[in-house]
Structure 1
Amino acid sequence: MADSPSSTPVSFSEFEAVTTTQWQERIRRDLKGQDPATLTWNTPDGLTLEPFYHREALDSLGGAPTPLVRTASAWRNVPTYTVPSGDRGHAAISRAAEGLRRGADGAHFLLSNAAAFDVGYLHQQMPLHSAYVGYSMRSGLGELVQRLQELELTPRGFVVLDPITCHAPDMSAQFGELRKAMLLAQGWPEMHVVGINSAYYADRGATITQQIAFALATAATYLSELPKDELTVEMVARSLHLHVGINPNYFFEIAKLRALRRLFATLLQAYGVPTELAQELPIFASTSSWSQTTLDPHTNLLRVTTEAMSAVLGGATAVSVGRFDSLFHESSEFSERLARNLPILLREEAYMGRVQDPAAGSYYLETLTDQLSHQAWTLFQKIEAEGGLPGATGLVLQELHASAQAQFRRIANGEQVVVGTNKFQNPNEQFDYNPKRLLRSREFDSTRATYPTEVLRLATAMHFDRRERKKKRAALVLLGAHTNQHILESFLETLPRMERPELRDAHPESTLSVLFSSAEEATLMYATPEQFGRLARAISHVPIDEPNFLPPALLTADLPTMQEAIRVFGFKEFTVQGYSTEDVLARLQGKK
């Protein structure tokens, strides 16, 4: 930017400059004959990262890029509160108001039913003229904005509807809702009503390249489709807001947010909109559910700490830290206080907010930002070549599915470490929740990276618990078609390598994985969907030909009935010569 102050070179004359060649020679010497190329990292995004970067890295970029300029005085601490369907939101609003008194700067409400949300009560409890409030929903945007307007104030915050990302069936009606909301909110310069839900992809295993590209493709559709009558492209651009999910890949997440702003400027330029608006794009960053785990759950506190730091250093304008126990506990004052205080510590004690762009000039981060930008723009162009969104939704979902499955495989075989789950487990862990109830719950998030590993561990815990209590009952846990290979990989990791190939080839990918646990033993099996359906009907005392029966994920029955049903319906079993079930389960629990 023309008015940006020029940087003053910093030099330390007492130190001799070290050239890239000298660094490379030192690396070769320290490796003691090993090839330095072994230190190169080929990332899941398809990037090749070097073991070190030097000043030449910036030269290859054409010099150090212009630092990002934070338009707001400071980033905001905005906790998230879920409002169930049919609930008017009073409990969530009261907790959010208490959060404001204890250091939060606003609140983000996940609305299952926006029409039922009590905006009047919200106005009574929270200062909407100063608090930063966000609303995420699937419908009812126009009505919500209308009710906010009736309060005769100037609210600050954002709304996320995003019918493109959420695959809304009534796309034209939803676009009408967005236009209505934009017209109603014209006098609210700090309220952004065209939200892009990029967190949807982060929470389902998308690579960082994909998250950036999918967000750009969504923005391009809104910039193309929403302008109508008095609504201009620039008005749409000024109404845009981005909700991103942050995962633990620290430096990549910093680079992700920086690349998003740069590419957003490029997108605006293509639409003839002032590129300066890219600096003003509000980015609401929430810690991602994808990386959360039920095993050794206090490690989630460490994950959200690095995630929040990435968000702040990457240039987010608002941050929301999730509760460490959100997967298996209802909200509590304790877990909400920890989540709320973490950003306060980063701002008040670590002073993360005093520097405009801490990553600016870093050889590594500037290179990484540039590489992610190129990769994401290439994928974005591929989506646009397919007709853009929503027409290219099939391509997007195909890319998302492939990346999620790849992560499942890396976690199953130990290549991608999840501390406390697939490595460095706590062998003496005691669950303060009921594994059986959790696995049966419809609210249990099965889209996360660690879900397949968790199911096996939790079912194993149930088996040992039943064995100790000597109850002659049995349980059958459906692990699902997409978890087959990941469960098998985890199972095979417990065995000598010589015994793995025959088992690896014995499990067709078209079948379901099932863990059968009795009072005496636990067995990993596989079955076709038809076999499992017949078994579930038999155990649940439902007619075999009942077409509308939906089998639960966890079945229980008396042991003889379960054993007979499994024999009749022909389930197949993984058997290991020379290893008892107890031995394998002990290995899975980290006891051997």
Structure 2
Amino acid sequence: MSDSPRPAALSFSEFEPLSAAAWQARIARDLKGADPADLRWETPEGLTLEPFYHREALAALGNVPAPQVRAVRRAAPNSWRNLPTLLVPAGTDGRAAIDHAARALQGGADGAHFDLSEPEHFDVGYLAATLPLEQGVWGFTVCRQPEEFTLRLVDAALDRPLRGFLRYAPGSNSSPDDYALLVHGLRRCVQLTRHLPEFFPLAVNGQFFNSRGATAVQELAYTLNTAAVFLDNIPADDLDLDVTAIAAALHVHVGIGPSYFVEMAKLRALRRLWATLLHAFGVRPEVAATLRIHATTSSWTQTTLDPHTNMLRVTTEAMSAVLGGADSVSVTPYDSLYAAPNEFSSRIARNVPVILREEAYLDRVADPAAGSYFIETLTDQLAREAWALFQQTEAAGGLLVARGKVYESIRLATMEQFRRIATGEQVIVGTNRFQNLKEQFSFDPKKLLRSRQFDSTRAAYPSEVLRLATAMHFIRKELKKKKAAVVLLGTDTIQQIYDSFVRLLPAEQRPAMSEVPARGDLSLLFSTPEEATLMSARPEQFQQFADFVRNRPDDSEDDGEQLQHEAPVLLACDLPTMQDAVRYFGFKEFTVSGYSTDDVLARLQGR
């Protein structure tokens, strides 16, 4: 405002200003002949980051970017919201989750995000009677009939000013463009909530890409490609839904990983690119300024090994989300991969944002990263690279047409991450470095590997599944069980096992692989009471093998779970049948010269 007092310019006249060249000369002198270029480092996105940044970096951007402001309740303090995600399983009406949300409000939460397995059974009447809908922020993920759920929700809220979002996600393996199956239903959701300017019924699911290992550039670009599909296909003139109405109803879900500065810059780049995208569609700038971003700590980086390290990961992830400008944050409980929801881990997860707000005061500044030479440069780099990839995908026909190429590019990025993890270039604390070799699992590895809910798409999976399978193998060996098991380790994992193993040996003792499996082959661990054998198989071989083995009447392992229709991670049956099946379906044995698989596994487990 024109009558606001202007701050006095800071001046440190006793210090002479130094140029970037002067700093570089000092760095070269301190390095005593070493090349300063060696201090640069490359991100997985291919960006080159300098060892230091100077105010001249802002000049290279053209001008100093304006600070970014959150969309929702931007004038109020505490403008970002702490929204725990509460799972509502099938066969329940959600009352237990609603009661949990009520307790969470007393413990520092600002609302909740309900993930509904059966939205038609969720008791919205109890929700409206129990929770202060007009005061908190409330999110809902539904897997079907979003328009029917929205109608029930709006009716239950009556005239209260509901704030929050709806996300339609048909299933855990659904594509973010599967909304196309229900365009008319989503249009109805927009119509039903037009009187609620702070409720966003259309979700752009960027978290889908993040949870599958996409780089920050890929996540940004493909999120924009998904939004472009919404803006192209959902407007309907006959329903008075133009592109501006659709843009105003959109919000974005993102996953946040542990790369602290990159994730912070990613969110800042997203706001910048969102304005560019909407401008291209002819939408007014003030609509772009209302973008709501919901950030969830990444499932991609969660681990089952040394799981308390997940508490530390989600802390840096939540900080990146808050400092990057997210409007709401969900922190995942540290034991969510293997344990049922419980009060202890839920409380810890809920308290991470509470501490960031109440003790670290991260709600007091609108854009803490504004003006940082490094963060502003990184934001600009991510935005430029992501926009170029977005345009490339649009030129190929957009996300719906180029979906196969998009998924293949993400697969290649994940395989590169798996390789770096296997070789130790990328560290996962407690999994591939600094392991607790005496760790005692608080869960049954066998049951976890057989569980339908076990997430096998994560970065740590190829490393930890070997550890889990090895633990199960040694238990089986010690107990001399008369059954055998085959554990699916993943694609191309044998090479990663070999790389991890040889790193533990002196250079002169490093053996060669007897046979390199074909690219794309599945890696398997065949475990008997006497020994373990690493094997590889083509996907169709393993599928046929799995179909045969799981139809055996004794394939139960006493856990009472039904097997999936797709090939499961763990298969077990009597030893003669398993041995015959492995031979019949032509699995290839993998050996390391001079070492048995038991030797390899024991060395990797620190035995």
TM value normalised by structure 2: 0.90
Paired with 2:491 and 2:53, the residues of 1 have a C-alpha distance of: 43
Paired with 2:226 and 2:187, the residues of 1 have a C-alpha distance of: 16
1:202 paired residue among 210, 214, 217: 210
In 2 relative to 1, CA 567–193 (structure 1 residues): closer, same or farther, beyond 3 Å?
closer
Asked if the contact 2:87/2:116 (under 8 Å) is kept, the reply is yes
The runs of 5 or more residues in structure 1 that have no matched partner are none
Q: Which residue of 2 aligns with 1:82?
A: 87
User: What does 1:117-516 align with in structure 2 at a 5 Å threshold?
Assistant: 117-151=122-156, 152-153=158-159, 154-161=161-168, 166-167=174-175, 174-229=182-237, 230-481=240-491, 483-495=493-505, 502-503=512-513, 506-516=516-526
Asked if the contact 2:483/2:529 (under 8 Å) is kept, the reply is yes
Q: Secondary structure at the match of 2:86?
A: strand
Residue identity in the other structure for 1:17 = P
Asked if the contact 1:484/1:509 (under 8 Å) is kept, the reply is no
- Once the two structures are superposed, residues 102-122 of structure 1 have per-residue CA deviations (whole angstroms, 9 ceiling, x without a partner) of 211101011222222221121
Q: Which residue of 2 aligns with 1:103?
A: 108
Paired with 2:356 and 2:174, the residues of 1 have a C-alpha distance of: 32
Alpha-carbon offset, residue 564 of structure 1:
4.9
Asked if the contact 1:515/1:523 (under 8 Å) is kept, the reply is yes
Q: Which residue of 2 aligns with 1:56?
A: 56
Q: Which residue of 2 aligns with 1:23?
A: 23
Asked if the contact 2:514/2:592 (under 8 Å) is kept, the reply is no
1:574 paired residue among 560, 576, 590: 590
In 2 relative to 1, CA 342–564 (structure 1 residues): closer, same or farther, beyond 3 Å?
same
Residue identity in the other structure for 1:193 = P
Asked if the contact 1:162/1:194 (under 8 Å) is kept, the reply is no
- Once the two structures are superposed, residues 339-379 of structure 1 have per-residue CA deviations (whole angstroms, 9 ceiling, x without a partner) of 11110000001000100110001000000000001001001
Paired with 1:173 and 1:521, the residues of 2 have a C-alpha distance of: 49
Paired with 1:513 and 1:291, the residues of 2 have a C-alpha distance of: 22
Asked if the contact 1:68/1:279 (under 8 Å) is kept, the reply is no
Paired with 2:501 and 2:542, the residues of 1 have a C-alpha distance of: 21
Q: Secondary structure at the match of 2:370?
A: coil
Residue identity in the other structure for 1:94 = D
Asked if the contact 1:494/1:584 (under 8 Å) is kept, the reply is no
Asked if the contact 1:78/1:107 (under 8 Å) is kept, the reply is yes
Paired with 1:341 and 1:111, the residues of 2 have a C-alpha distance of: 23
Paired with 2:133 and 2:543, the residues of 1 have a C-alpha distance of: 52
Residue identity in the other structure for 1:200 = F
Residue identity in the other structure for 1:64 = V
Residue identity in the other structure for 2:183 = F
Paired with 1:225 and 1:561, the residues of 2 have a C-alpha distance of: 54
Asked if the contact 1:162/1:196 (under 8 Å) is kept, the reply is no
Q: How many residues align?
A: 587
Q: Which residue of 1 aligns with 2:561?
A: none
TM value normalised by structure 1: 0.92
Cα RMSD of the aligned pairs, angstroms, is 2.7
In 2 relative to 1, CA 7–239 (structure 1 residues): closer, same or farther, beyond 3 Å?
farther
Paired with 1:61 and 1:31, the residues of 2 have a C-alpha distance of: 29
Asked if the contact 1:139/1:174 (under 8 Å) is kept, the reply is no
In 2 relative to 1, CA 211–507 (structure 1 residues): closer, same or farther, beyond 3 Å?
same
Paired with 2:263 and 2:43, the residues of 1 have a C-alpha distance of: 14
Quick check: 374-383 or 462-471, which moved more? 462-471
